[in-house]
Amino acid sequence: MKMLVTLRKHYELILFTAASEQYAEIVLQSFEGHQFFDHILSRKQCLHIFQRQVFIKDLSILLGGRVIRDIIIVDNKIESYSSNLENGIPIISYYGQEGDDMLKKLAKYLLRLKDANDVREKIVRDFYLQDLASLQRKVNDNYMAIDTNQLKAALKKSREKREQQQHSNKISYDISSPANRPQMLR
């Protein structure tokens, strides 16, 4: 939690899970009532790629009042941010392993990024994401969930569907400014 206190001084923190709203609430409760997150996003705000059964955390939902060059996503599943690969920092899953110091390393890295003109340039270089993206395209579909061309087509279709739903239901995902307390976006 100390890491979140430090990072909150420099970043707007958004909890973005591909899980349900109920799971997001459980995660928030695990922080003992501390309010570190400005916004909470869940599966409802993800793009669902039905052909692959993948939920994509499309960062375009965050662009109201923000620029993509300043947005960072940290996730243990690369397919979750495959629509914005250059904004993503991959991290290994945490299952309570003793001696795991990955979050400390992540915090140090994020603090070095806070003044970057474009976080994507440094992330791509530091995490070899261009090589990883090239490797993804070469791997057989049976072993990798993402095919870049199919993903682009599916993302376009999912974005259009989301826009139609927003228009017809007048659903608002306005998260253009930090809230005083975390709000579950619906």
Q: What is the 3-state secondary structure (H, E, C) of 94-135?
A: CCCCCCCCHHHHHHHHHHHHCCCCCHHHHHHHHCCHHHHHHH
Q: What is the CATH number of the domain that holds 126?
A: 3.40.50.1000
Tokens of 69: 């060059």
Residue 147 lies in a domain: yes
Note the pTM of the prediction, 2 decimals: 0.72
Residue 125 lies in a domain: yes
Residue 16 lies in a domain: yes
User: From first to last of its 186 residues, what are the pLDDT tens digits of the chain?
Assistant: 788 889 999 999 999 999 999 998 888 888 776 688 888 899 999 998 887 788 999 999 999 889 999 999 999 888 889 888 899 998 888 777 888 888 889 999 999 999 999 999 999 888 876 666 555 555 434 444 445 555 556 656 666 766 676 666 544 445 554 443 333 343
Residue 104 sits in which domain range? Answer: 2-169
> What torsion do the CA atoms of 131, 135, 137, 143 make, to the nearest 10 degrees?
-150
Count of domains in the chain? 1
Residue 185 lies in a domain: no
Query: What is residue 142's DSSP assignment?
Result: T
Residue 11 lies in a domain: yes
Tokens of 63: 């662009």
